[in-house]
Structure 1
């Protein structure tokens, strides 16, 4: 069961906090990460609305010699699709404005993942389907719901693993070469019992 944060501000009219408050951490190989805790006011209410209204779907994928269940539920909104909540439209507009100079294009698609409890996860990967395999890009992730660990490590090893605890409206933005030269994951956790929704904003041609 989802437990709301005692620190969450449900005054949604103020909109997202200024992205100029984000703290940037340079990484190796030309990658960087911006982090802004509690970016979205009213994040717990947003979680409840998305949890109830998004048409979540389960997927199965081939892994080596067998087909397995994807350990999370998914939804995807292409660039011409209306987003499922006005707050996500506001978030996308704020990201477009703040990263316009670095990205040189707007964010086009929005993917959502529902991690139902600590048994749901995503393995080590980079968003390298499409342009992300060859070009620098920016992927922004808004987390609502129960806090989960997002880990980053250099692709191929040889460096430290970086941990961010994300939930209740926190934002992390991975830029530069991050998708090509680093990997990220949400590991399983026996300590987590509540659900989390990850909302990923990506430019066209990056998955």
Structure 2
């Protein structure tokens, strides 16, 4: 179901509408954190220039959808708004297409085919979240892959733990143009989440670039 333009109380249009022209920055500051079982995470704070301006454009330009999912005997609302761009579809801003190309070129040795699709999530406030999961639908269930995430808007924590449970092993506050790339066996052997928070936080958009056949 397509949602009406989102009402975001924490969204300051005058702030997010200003800044540099949106475009990806250099990737030479990426820092890799090795994880167990052949997984790793790359992180680069502030990678995307003009990130706040891009956030403001995407809020109104993307056809956000509100979805429901069955959980046991109930049907519950997914606690975030969603959009998905399949391979070959035009992305909602040319800067995102440029970012996908830059990332594909940088990771060509580890992902020869490049990134094909883009999924977007809009976290409206601290009540929106995504539960523990891995992107294990498709060939990522049996093979190593890469998932790159560009974060726009107010920071929210991305947390990781080994698949099957246990304490949080890595916590990254992501927002305002930060980049994180999960690679190696990360989707098969680790889980990640964006937990709810009682802190006063503004809205955030997560842009996930994935290869063909990975969800």
Structures share fold, TM-score greater than 0.5? yes
Deviation, structure 1 residue 3: 5.0
SS at match of 2:55: helix
Deviation, structure 1 residue 158: 4.8
Structure 2 contact 44–180 (Cα < 8 Å) conserved: yes
- Correspondence list, 1:19-168, <5 A: 19-158=27-166, 160-168=168-176
Q: Of 164, 173, 189, which aligns to 2:197?
A: 189
- In the superposition, the TM-score normalised over structure 2's length comes to 0.90
Q: How many residues align?
A: 203
Structure 1 contact 148–192 (Cα < 8 Å) conserved: no
Match of 2:4 in 1: none
Deviation, structure 1 residue 100: 0.8
- In the superposition, the TM-score normalised over structure 1's length comes to 0.94
Deviations 1:36-81 (A, max 9, x none): 0001010000000000110001000111222110000000000111
Q: Which structure 1 segments of 5+ residues have no match?
A: none
Asked if 1:11 corresponds to 2:46, the answer is: no
Structure 1 consecutive aligned stretches of length 4 or more whose deviation exceeds 6 Å: none
Structure 1 contact 2–146 (Cα < 8 Å) conserved: no
Deviation, structure 1 residue 12: 2.4
Deviations 1:132-178 (A, max 9, x none): 11110000000000110000001113565210000000000000000
Deviation, structure 1 residue 86: 1.1
Q: Distance in 2 between matches of 1:159 and 1:125?
A: 15
SS at match of 2:28: helix
Q: Distance in 2 between matches of 1:193 and 1:98?
A: 32
Structure 2 contact 147–181 (Cα < 8 Å) conserved: yes
Deviations 1:88-130 (A, max 9, x none): 0110011010011101111000000000000000000000011
Structure 1 contact 110–201 (Cα < 8 Å) conserved: yes
Q: Which structure 2 segments of 5+ residues have no match?
A: 1-9
Q: Of 177, 180, 195, which aligns to 1:172?
A: 180
